[in-house]
Amino acid sequence: MPISVLLGIALGTARVYGNVIIRGIASAIVIAFRGFPVLVTLLLIFFGLSDFGIYVPPFWTAVIGFILCSGSYQSEYVRGAIRSIDIGQSLAARSIGMTKFQEVLYIILPQAVRRAFLGITNELIYLVQYSSLAFVVGVPEMFAVTKTFNSLYFRPVETFTTLAVVYLVMISVLVIFFRGIERRLAIPGIEITTK
């Protein structure tokens, strides 16, 4: 999850500040992995790469696929947030002699990531949900295991309700965790912290 966020920040930043080449590469990644359904991405990594003699184990296929996909979505939240930062912040940073790189790293991103934070957490919750797709490349994740269990005992209501509750609990724990971070990131005087 942290890697997908970092990828998102890197891609989003590259698309705003990168030169033509960097921007082009970042945009291509984002267009591709937001364009492909996750399922197709996973199948392409697993089967597509094996055509070139590269075998990616199922678990790593899922990890790489989810990072690329999630990171691409994340990048748009970050890009939007960067765009929303007042130009005065940038002028002030340059006026004390910061390079463009220092400006982005110390002034723009700390503010942009805060603005993008809620969107980012939303995307991370999706990421947990995507994990149920990992079964297509044979990862024994919760959904696949539950399905197998169900086909053995044929108790769909009970088994899938249990699965739903497990997901709900997992997500709830995440939400509480995110709330904690949100509070820590809040800038006194600007953002209203939830009591």
Partner 1 sequence: MNSNIPVLKVENLKKSYAGKIILDGVNLEVDKGETKVILGPSGVGKSTLLRCINMLTLPDSGKIWLEGVELTEPNTDINKMRQKIGFVFQDFNLFHHLTVLKNVTIGLTKVKKIPEEEAIKIAASALEKVHIPNTLWNKYPAQISGGEKQRVAIARALAMKPSIMLYDEPTSALDPQLVGEVLQVIKELSTAGMTSLIVTHELHFALEVANELLFIYNGKIVEQGPPEEVFANPKHDIVKKYIASIYSRKG
How many residues bind to partner 1 according to rule CB under 8 A? 22
Minimum distance, C-beta of residue 192 to partner 1, in the bound complex (Å): 11
Contact yes or no for 13/109 (Cβ under 8 A): yes
Q: What is the 3-state secondary structure (H, E, C) of 127-189?
A: HHHHHHHHHHHCCCCHHHHHHHHHHHHCCHHHHHHHHHHHHHHHHHHHHHHHHHHHHHHCCCC
Instruction: Check binding of 181 to partner 1 (CB under 8 A).
Output: no
Stretch that binds partner 1, among 15-23, 41-49, 93-101, 141-149 (CB under 8 A): 93-101
Instruction: Check binding of 187 to partner 1 (CB under 8 A).
Output: yes
Residues within window 147-166 making contact with partner 1, judged by CB under 8 A: none
Dig out the tokens for 94 from the structure: 């340059």
Residue in 27, 60, 94, 132 binding partner 1, rule: CB under 8 A: 94
Dig out the tokens for 79 from the structure: 């890009």
Residue in 20, 21, 97, 195 binding partner 1, rule: CB under 8 A: 97
Sites of contact with partner 1 (CB under 8 A): 86, 88-89, 91-99, 102, 106-107, 110-111, 114, 187-190
